[in-house]
Amino acid sequence: MTESAPQPLHTTALHDWHVDHGGRMVDFAGWSLPVFYETGAIDEHHATRRSVGLFDIDHMGQITVAGPGAVDAVDRLVTSDIVGLQVGAARYGLLCAEDGGVIDDVIVYRTEVETYMVVVNAANRETDFAHITASTSGVDVVDRSDELAMIAVQGPEGIALLDACTGGAASATERFHSSPVALFGQTALFGRTGYTGEDGGELYISGDVTAVWTGLIAAGADHGIDVTAVGLGARDSLRFEPGYPLYGHELSRLINPFEARLSWAVDLDGADFIGRDALVAIKEAGVARRLETIVLDERGVAREGAHVLDVDGDELGVVVSGMFCPTVDLFAANVFLPRSHGAVDTDVIVDIRGRTKRAHVATRPLYRRT
Amino acid sequence: MSETNSPTDLRYSTDHEWVRIEEGADGPVLRIGITDYAQDALGDVVFVELPAVGSTITSGDSVGEVESTKSVSDIYAPVTGRVVEVNEALADEPSAINSDPYGGGWLCVVADFDPTAVEALMDAAAYTSLIAE
């Protein structure tokens, strides 16, 4: 069941911990990471929504852009408004190509007045670095991915856990803001961000990441907070339920932000950015297809590649992500559908390897934290 | 990989299915499931596509699918025969395959099979060696 790889996989500093704790290691974007641990992905999913999930996301990349002119340089790269981003704040945005296709989706932290940290997807790290380097001048662009590890601490008890380990620094940090913190003898940047639909945060650590990881688990035990290590399987279902895109699935060079329902991350009123002209034209013309979530009326898993048909059997689109969603207890899938078939409750058919299942367009997102 | 269990009273296929000969109302029948090793490798099972009752299955052919949080895997018929019963309870509780692969997690029961084909399957010792490789 282990995927073979032609080249040795990158390993994270926590690799031995994962293996020692029953992690089933798989190849994800060239990295050896656990898909789940002993108790399985569904338990890990529920544990994150109920208490705290810990995620090793060291595979994600961090590229800093610094120097006089960094504000304008990053604003020209990213679709969202960067000029208005205060020091210490963070914002979601997209790197687009001139044609409006998405190169990557990123979180931008303004860590200092003239320093930004762009957090990128593992699979796009080299592409993004080349794009950022080629699209800027007069600023220092540094790929810091190898020196920075990243842990996500997500779930309703995540802030309490981090507070206990940082002297209250986590709750003192607003959503989409960051603070330097010290925990377990290490210094880290804490960002109150994440990708599960829960409160919590992400830690950027340049020191001993294992000390922080094991320290958080021990602190959970000391404070009566259930802390669960979470693999890629639950990471996917946790991001899917609240409707967050995953690059390579809901986003790609061939998908524009309006199709992916990310107009809120595209600031067409501010300064120019790469892809802006194309996106203005796309917005004016309107998109022919848009990302929809369908829910299966019969049991079955409509995985990536499954064909979605109208009730007459004519093809409408192809599933980009699909899975069982534990919190909402539904089998669901994301697919780009023609606008004519995007209304909520529209009936469709999914062809799962020759077996057809009834489904309908659902209200997005499937899950929202209460 | 955690320790998995392969009971000695069963026969095993190279596709990680187990079979057990039982006494049916009209002669011997064969109960079929997937092994502890297989369920452990798959992870949480969320859905099972079972063959239709009454259908004839042919040894080596795909007769259904097990969907887990990780992947989809075919169920291959370990012998040729006729399906007389399927485990309807798996529709509501597919996790029985994880929690009780040799009991409540059974998949289907087959009649009209060739007993020598069952004898040709692996015993527990041979299967244990296979999964240790």
* CA distance linking residue A267 with residue A285, whole number of Å: 17
Give the β-pairing of A10-11 and A31-34.
parallel
Architecture of the A61-143 domain: 2-Layer Sandwich (3.30)
Give A-chain residues touching B43 at CB under 8 angstroms: 24, 35-36, 40-41, 233
- As a whole-number percent, the residues of chain A with pLDDT over 90 amount to 98
* pLDDT, tens only, A208-249: 999 999 999 999 999 999 999 999 999 999 999 999 999 999
**Of A309, A306, A301, whose CA–CA distance to A318 is shortest?**
A306
Structure tokens at A43: 């338990």
Percent of chain B past pLDDT 90, that is, above it, reads 95
Residue B133: per-residue pLDDT = 83
pLDDT above 50 for B1: no
Residue B3: pLDDT above 80? no
Residues 218-277 of A with CB under 8 A from B: 233-234, 237
Q: pLDDT for A124-158, tens place per residue?
A: 999 999 999 999 999 999 999 999 999 999 999 99
Three-state SS at A294: strand
Quick one: pLDDT at residue B4? 84
Q: From the CA atom positions of chain A, what is the Rg in Å?
A: 21
- Note the pLDDT of residue A109: 98
Set of chain B residues whose Cβ sits within 8 Å of the Cβ of A1:
41-42, 70-71
- pLDDT > 60? residue A3: no
Reported as a single tens digit per residue, the pLDDT across A266-289 is 999 999 999 999 999 999 999 999
CB pairs under 8 A between A and B: 54
Residue A6: pLDDT band (50, 70, 90) is low
Q: Dihedrals φ, ψ of B113, to 5°? A: -105, 165
What's the pLDDT tens digit per position in A68-119? 999 999 999 999 999 999 999 999 999 999 999 999 999 999 999 999 999 9
CATH class of A10-60+147-240: alpha beta
For A35, nearest residue in chain B (alpha carbons): B70
Backbone angles phi, psi at A4, to 5 degrees: -90, 155
Give A-chain residues touching B91 at CB under 8 angstroms: 299
Residues 6+ apart with CB under 8 A from B133: none
Show the tokens assigned to B118.
């069952």
- Best CATH choice for the domain A288-370 from the list 3.60.110.10, 2.40.30.110, 2.40.110.10, 3.10.510.20: 2.40.30.110
Using the Cβ of A329 and the Cβ atoms of chain B, whether some distance falls under 8 Å is answered with no
Dihedral Cα A20, A22, A28, A32, nearest 10 deg: 20
Q: What is the pLDDT of residues A155-212, one digit of tens each?
A: 999 999 999 999 999 999 999 999 999 999 999 999 999 999 999 999 999 999 999 9
Specify the residue for token string 């020692």. Answer: A20
Could A300 and B67 be called an inter-chain contact, meaning their C-beta atoms sit closer than 8 Å?
Answer: yes
Mean pLDDT of A6-14: 89
Domains annotated for chain B, with CATH where assigned, are 11-132 (2.40.50.100)
Q: What is the pLDDT of residues B7-32, one digit of tens each?
A: 999 999 999 999 999 999 999 999 99
For the cut 90, the answer to whether the pLDDT of residue B66 exceeds it is yes
**Contact, A245 vs A262, CB < 8 A?**
yes
When CB atoms are compared, the residue of B65, B67, B69 closest to A36 is B69
pLDDT at residue A1, rounded to an integer: 47
pLDDT(B2) > 80? no
- For chain A, give the percent of residues with pLDDT over 70: 98
Give A292-338 pLDDT, tens digit per residue.
Answer: 999 999 999 999 999 999 999 999 999 999 999 999 999 999 999 99
Where along chain A do its domains lie?
Answer: 10-60+147-240, 61-143, 288-370
Q: Is the pLDDT of residue A345 over 70?
A: yes
Angle, vertex CA B105, rays to CA A304 and CA A235, nearest 5: 35
pLDDT given at position A4: 54
Whether A41 and B43 lie within 8 Å, measured CB to CB? yes
Q: For residue B88, what pLDDT is reported?
A: 97
Closest residue to A355, CB basis, from B49, B69, B91: B49
A24 and B46: CB-CB below 8 Å?
no
Averaged pLDDT, A337-366 = 97
Distances (CA, A) of B87 to A62, B15, B90: 50, 20, 6
**Chain B residue with minimal CA distance to A237?**
B69
